A and B are shown apart, each in its own frame.
Chain A
Amino acid sequence: MTGSQQKPLLTGRLEMNHEHYVLAAYLLTFAVMFMATLKVWLSGRLYRRQIEALAVARRRQARKGR
């Protein structure tokens, strides 16, 4: 095969069939929904810990005050 006949590696078009489009749509949907759920869950966990730490500190302060 001469140099001019060689198929370039990076210029081939990505052929997608209908199954690929369906897979892409579902993957994207669940990726976005998962990220949204993760963000809500992680921030909830962070705030809950801070609120609990605050409650413990307040209880300690109240005991000291007595």
Chain B
Amino acid sequence: MTHFINAIVGLAQPARFLDLSERLLPALAALTAFCFAIGLYLSFSSDVDYQQGVTVRIMYVHVPAAWMAMLCYTTMTANAIGSLVWRHPLADVAARVAAPLGAAFTLVSLVTGAIWGKPMWGTWWVGDARLTSMFVLLIMYLGILAINRAIDEPTRAARVTAVLILVGFVNIPIIKFSVDWWNTLHQPASVMRLDGPALDVEFLRPLLAMGLAFSALFATLYVASIRNEIWRRKLITHDRLAAKAAAHRET
């Protein structure tokens, strides 16, 4: 057990993470491409719905994007706790880089939902609890990005961002249960239900394949973004030290 904990803690060291990500990234990228190939094949070879027709295929990108948008925020929250409680620098890095990815997934989820809504509901947008809470999630992501960039001092930026992320986490259960708590136009959960998925296996298969592809894409981009952020911080530290040394030489 101690060996396992030491191994996990060891991974959280930036140098060790860089070394591991170097080997992990090609495998993750290959897995993403493979999963997307399978997912797209299943999406376009599966039967169409008797009521929705081919429009059901929008679900295979809309639903996984929404799952990733929520998973991304949950990952950010776990890292924000790590940053606030243990002040771990890698936790702060991991929390910070997830925001643009989460914003991209949320945007895809909102827009593909609107594209599905036009032919099915007859409108692009309704002030529905699920749609509105997803829009609030997008605003949260953009707010976190803006706050992080607005504060120059890294320690203060990390703390403020972590607190904002924790406060915003209240929106995640609201998104998930909004279709149960309020009378919404958006349909209730049909995959992640206590009594099993309500979808026919014909639709469930491509949906899960695309879910796996989106998860692999998220993992790839997340690991690569953490690595980029570690390098960026190394360069900033080097620039600051060089400027300090230059100032010292002048005096």
**Which residues from chain A sit less than 8 Å from chain B, CB to CB?**
16, 18-19, 21-22, 24-26, 28-29, 32-33, 35-37, 40-41, 43-44, 47-48, 50-51, 54
Interface of chain A, helix or strand or loop or mixed? Answer: helix
Interface of chain B, helix or strand or loop or mixed? Answer: helix
Residues of A within 8 A of B235 (CB): 47, 50-51, 54
Interface string of B83-122 (1 = CB under 8 A from A): 0000000000000000011001001100110011011000
| Complex Cα spacing A27 to B180, Å | 31
Residues of A within 8 A of B65 (CB): 29
Contact among B53, B108, B111, B228 with A43 in the assembled complex (CB-CB below 8 Å): B228
Name which of B74-82, B138-146, B156-164, B217-225 contacts chain A: B217-225
| Complex Cα spacing A19 to B154, Å | 48
Q: Is the CB of A21 within 8 A of B118?
A: yes
Kindly state the interface size class of chain B when it binds its partner: 20 to 34
Interface string of B197-222 (1 = CB under 8 A from A): 00000000000000000000100010
Name which of B55-63, B166-174, B187-195 contacts chain A: B55-63
B232 at the interface (CB under 8 A from A): yes
Q: Is the CB of B116 within 8 A of A21?
A: yes
Give 17 new A-B contacts, CB below 8 A, not counting A25-B57, A44-B224.
A18-B55, A19-B54, A21-B55, A25-B115, A29-B65, A29-B108, A32-B104, A32-B108, A33-B108, A40-B224, A44-B231, A47-B235, A50-B231, A50-B235, A51-B231, A54-B235, A54-B238
Asked whether A22 and B100 contact (CB < 8 A) given A33-B217, A40-B225, the answer is no
Residues of B within 8 A of A54 (CB): 235, 238
| Complex Cα spacing A18 to B118, Å | 10
B130 at the interface (CB under 8 A from A): no
B41 vs chain A, min Cβ distance (A): 13
Q: Is the CB of B104 within 8 A of A47?
A: no
B234 at the interface (CB under 8 A from A): yes
Q: Which residues of chain B from 38 to 75 have any CB-CB distance to chain A below 8 Å in the complex? A: 53-55, 57-58, 61-62, 65
B230 vs chain A, min Cβ distance (A): 9
Q: Is the CB of A41 within 8 A of B224?
A: yes
Residues of A within 8 A of B107 (CB): 32
Asked whether A21 and B115 contact (CB < 8 A) given A44-B227, A47-B231, A50-B235, the answer is yes
| Complex Cα spacing A22 to B234, Å | 44
Q: Is the CB of B115 within 8 A of A36?
A: no
